[in-house]
Every structure is written in C-alpha cells, then in structure tokens.
C-alpha cells in the first residue's frame, strides 16, 4: 500500500482510493483464443454505441485485446455485433 506517490498525478491518487486491481478475465479462465460466434462475451467489451473498449479500461492483456479486436470485427461482419452508431439526441 505504501508506494511512494508520484507528485502531481491526480489519476494516481484516484487509483489509490477507488479501484480494485484489474485483471484479464480471459487469462483467468485460461482461454487460448476468442471465438467470434460467442456474442454474449463480446458484448461485455463493447459500448452502447458499438465502440470497442480499450484495454486500460477493461484490464485485458495485450494478447487477448488483439484477439478481441479481431473477433469483434468478424462478429460485426456476420451481424452478431453492431457497427458503431452515432449517439441520438
């Protein structure tokens, strides 16, 4: 807990107070590659507008984030996941 604070970094302070440590949920379940047909899993990593969430938000590792991107794009082609829509109103 007692790490030296980097001076002048407000984000670092917020982390101390609110966030739990993020982890890659695919690594936890020992998934080797992500299937594009499993739309219910992909939906967790997509905003309402259809944008792919960045790894720094979800905590997925580099290997799985790359695969997620590909899987989501394949799922979009097969109409399992929607494309990016502009916000209405």
Partner 1 sequence: MSREYEVGLIINPEASEEEVEKIKKSVTDILEKGKGTIDNIDEWGRKKLAYPIEKHNEGIYIFIKTFSPGNVLASVERRLKLSEKVMRFIILRLDDKLKKTNRLEKRWKRAEKMTKKTDIDEKTESKPERRTTSKPAGEIISKPESRTVSKPEIKPEIKKESKPETKTEKSSEIIKEENNAETE
Binding mask 5-44 for partner 1 (x = CB under 8 A): x-xxxx--x-------------x--x-xx---x-------
In angstroms, what is the minimal distance from the CB of 82 to partner 1?
4
Judge contact between 53 and 47, C-beta under 8 A.
yes
Residues 41, 44: Cα–Cα separation, whole Å? 6
Which alpha helices (DSSP H) does 2-49 contain, by range?
10-17, 25-28, 39-42
Site size toward partner 1 (CB under 8 A) is 24
In angstroms, what is the minimal distance from the CB of 87 to partner 1?
16
Query: What is the CB neighbour count within 10 angstroms for residue 31?
Result: 15
| Among 15, 22, 51, 82, interactor with partner 1 by CB under 8 A | 82
Task: Write down the number of H helices and E strands in the chain.
Answer: 5, 0
Q: Which residues bind partner 1 (CB under 8 A)?
A: 2, 4-5, 7-10, 13, 27, 30, 32-33, 37, 63, 67, 74, 76-83
């Amino acid at each position: 807990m007692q790490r030296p604070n980097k001076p002048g970094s407000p984000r670092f302070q917020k982390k101390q107070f609110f966030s739990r440590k993020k982890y890659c949920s695919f690594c936890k379940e020992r998934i080797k590659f992500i299937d594009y047909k499993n739309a219910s899993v992909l939906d967790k990593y997509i905003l309402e507008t259809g944008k792919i969430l960045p790894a720094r938000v979800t905590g997925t590792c580099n290997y799985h984030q790359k695969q997620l991107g590909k899987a989501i794009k394949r799922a979009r082609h097969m109409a399992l996941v929607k494309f990016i829509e502009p916000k209405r109103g």
